[in-house]
Amino acid sequence: MRTLILSDIHANLTALEGVLADAEPFDRVWCLGDVVGYGPNPNECVETIQNLPEIQCVKGNHDAAIVGDIDIRAFNYEARASLAWLDEVLLPENKQWLRDLPDRLELDDITLVHGSPRNPVWEYILDQTTAWENMAEFETKICLVGHTHIPCVFQLDNVKGNAAKVSFKKAGQVFSIDLKSIVNPGSVGQPRDHNPKAAYILYDDETEEWVYQRVGYDIELVQKQILEAGLPHRHASRLLDGW
């Protein structure tokens, strides 16, 4: 079975559609949260994600904020501005779908969270120390996370007593996972690794093969939509920088 793993769509429908077309064929989809926030198409993104085959999705911090699980004051000014806009446009049924998302899932011996297994909605796993501390917080061999918008793998090394960070070298890279690991597919709708292309991972549970992928999309169109919606200018400009 081929599983499409994606995260941090952030209401960027054009990027999401680009990923779905590029990733074909796949049998099911695992989404690591932040379907909304920042971008111009929150309803379309929720509706597209909902209808994907065998979709399993966990709740991100932006999803949690818009349904009132998190105090909006915990966000920076620009994120707050987009949350205020989102609150006006998001349809009640889509808000309800986001509200019902779980913080954590365990599927096929793989744990899914948005931030970290220790603090599923909020914690960023950016460095080896945080990754190491989180290795004891999940029972499965693999934990999938998003939230940082930076694709990478942290591998447990019990001999050295650390969790080594492995960055992907290029799109299309095939990898296997032998050790206990935390895997981040990067972001569909707002990459922050200085590569503007949408990121995702495909996992084939028969061959145990994982593939890291990037795909370009019409960034100019999304920038235009962001500005037309009256969202902060930086949400548009950063897409081209991949930051």
Q: If you count them, how many residues does the chain have?
A: 243
Nearer to Zn ion, 150 or 156 (CB): 150
Minimum CB–partner distance for residue 190 and Zn ion (Å): 7
Cβ proximity to Zn ion, 122 vs 175, nearer residue: 122
Strands (E), 38-159: 56-57, 104-107, 110-113, 142-144, 152-157
Residues that bind Zn ion (CB under 5 A): 8, 34
Alpha carbon of residue 101 to chain centroid: 14
Centroid of chain to Cα 158:
28
97 vs 180, which CB is nearer to Zn ion?
Answer: 97
| Shortest Å, Cβ 60 to Zn ion | 6
Say which DSSP state 184 is in.
E
d(Cα 179, Cα 45) in Å, to the nearest integer? Answer: 34
**Residue among 28 and 147 whose Cβ is closer to Zn ion:** 147
- Give me the least distance between CB of 37 and Zn ion, in Å please: 7
Query: Least distance from C-beta 210 to Zn ion, angstroms?
Result: 22
CB of 126 to Zn ion, least distance (A): 13
Q: Which is closer to Zn ion, CB of 34 or CB of 193?
A: 34
DSSP E strand stretches across the chain: 2-6, 28-31, 56-57, 104-107, 110-113, 142-144, 152-157, 162-166, 173-175, 181-184, 198-204, 209-215
CB closer to Zn ion out of 66 and 156:
66
Q: Considering the complex, what minimum distance in angstroms separates the CB of residue 178 from Zn ion?
A: 29
- We find the least distance from the C-beta atom of residue 203 to Zn ion, in angstroms, to be 21
Candidates 95, 9, 83; CA nearest to 52 is: 9
Radius of gyration of the chain (CA): 17
Residue number, nearest CB to Zn ion: 34
Q: Which is nearer to Zn ion, 22 or 34 (CB)?
A: 34
The strand ranges marked E within 7-108 are 28-31, 56-57, 104-107
